[in-house]
């Protein structure tokens, strides 16, 4: 079946450091890929997405490129801020059946300090 | 656009009791999803509605769980005879239509604690 594997957290960085959170996936067909973010006490918010190979999703300084050859969708940001502290989830959509249900990774907690 | 809303936000119940959660999707969205998230894990798919029709259910959804979406608007998720293992965050999401690229918008969740 489909699955998503993320690097374990927490990831602790100083403000303005470079961020990479690794995500790899296993899927049949050609899924769409997503990064969701969950800030403390809040619901899941879509951060970015990519729907086909070599697409790059970007939002709020975050980027991720859909790499079919390595089945990866790593999240990057050039300079993190304290306000980026949250849990980040990589996910893929599954078109089997009739629902485009999401399969999530276990999440990676990011802590950014001054 | 007021977003997806869920009620209640928190629920504490005793083992064996029944509980019901409500989800109001974004008004123009015809697809509605329920997920369950346990501590330290990502959300797991439970069930999916297109309008009022429940089109898919996960094997995670035991016979004690039932979901409805009358008239294709709000949805309810009921858990009968709750067990301590049901303690989790229950998330609702909606999307405007199908396809792999369609974004699902999530509500704030209902956190259930079964004592």
> If you average pLDDT over residues A26-53, what whole number do you get?
90
Q: What pLDDT shows up at residue A41?
A: 81
Q: Evaluate if residue B34 carries a pLDDT over 80.
A: yes
Contacts for B98-102: CB closer than 8 Å, 24+ residues apart? B98/A98, B98/A99, B98/A100, B98/B31, B98/B50, B99/A100, B100/A30, B100/A31, B100/A32, B100/A51, B100/A93, B100/A95, B100/A100, B101/A32, B101/A49, B101/A51, B101/A93, B102/A93, B102/A100, B102/B31
DSSP state of B93: E
Which is more confidently placed, B12 or B98?
B12
> If you average pLDDT over residues A24-36, what whole number do you get?
90
Q: What pLDDT shows up at residue A95?
A: 66
Residue A9: closest C-alpha in chain B: B40
Q: Is B101 on the interface with A (CB under 8 A)?
A: yes
From chain A, the residues in CB contact with B102 under 8 A are 93, 100
Helices (H), B4-78: none
Residue from the list A32, A104, A106 with its beta carbon closest to the beta carbon of B101: A32
Contact B43 A42 (CB under 8 A): no
Q: What pLDDT shows up at residue B87?
A: 97
Q: Evaluate if residue B1 carries a pLDDT over 70.
A: no
Q: Is A44 on the interface with B (CB under 8 A)?
A: yes
Angle, vertex CA A110, rays to CA A30 and CA B113, nearest 5: 85
Q: Is A5 on the interface with B (CB under 8 A)?
A: no
Residue A4: closest C-alpha in chain B: B42
From chain A, the residues in CB contact with B56 under 8 A are 97-99, 101
Residue from the list A89, A100, A105 with its beta carbon closest to the beta carbon of B100: A100
Smallest CA-to-CA distance from B35 within B106, B83, B114 is with B106
Distance separating alpha carbons of residues A46 and A90, to the nearest angstrom: 10
Which is more confidently placed, B9 or A95?
B9
Helices (H), chain A: none
Q: pLDDT tens for residues A59-107? A: 999 999 999 999 999 999 999 999 999 999 999 987 655 567 899 999 9
Distance separating alpha carbons of residues B76 and B84, to the nearest angstrom: 20
């Amino acid at each position: 079946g489909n699955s998503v594997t993320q690097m374990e957290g927490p990831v602790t960085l100083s403000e303005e450091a470079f961020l990479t959170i690794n995500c790899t996936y296993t899927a049949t067909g050609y899924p769409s890929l997503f990064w969701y973010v969950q800030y403390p006490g809040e619901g899941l918010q879509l951060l970015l997405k990519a729907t086909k190979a070599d697409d790059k999703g970007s939002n709020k300084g975050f980027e991720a490129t859909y790499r079919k050859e390595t089945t990866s969708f790593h999240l990057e940001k050039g300079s993190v801020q304290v306000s980026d502290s949250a849990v980040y989830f990589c996910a893929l959509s599954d078109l089997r059946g009739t629902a485009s249900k999401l399969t999530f990774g276990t999440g990676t907690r990011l802590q950014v300090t001054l | 656009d007021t977003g997806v809303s869920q009620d209640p936000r928190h629920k504490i119940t005793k083992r064996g009791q029944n509980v019901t959660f409500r989800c109001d999707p974004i008004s123009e969205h015809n697809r509605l999803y329920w997920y369950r998230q346990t501590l330290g894990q990502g959300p797991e798919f439970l069930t999916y509605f297109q309008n009022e029709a429940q089109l898919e259910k996960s094997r995670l959804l035991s016979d004690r769980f039932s979901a409805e979406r009358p008239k294709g608007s709000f949805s309810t998720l009921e858990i009968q005879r709750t067990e301590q293992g049901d303690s989790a965050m229950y998330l609702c999401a909606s999307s405007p239509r199908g396809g792999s690229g369609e974004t699902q918008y999530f509500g704030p969740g209902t956190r259930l604690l079964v004592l």
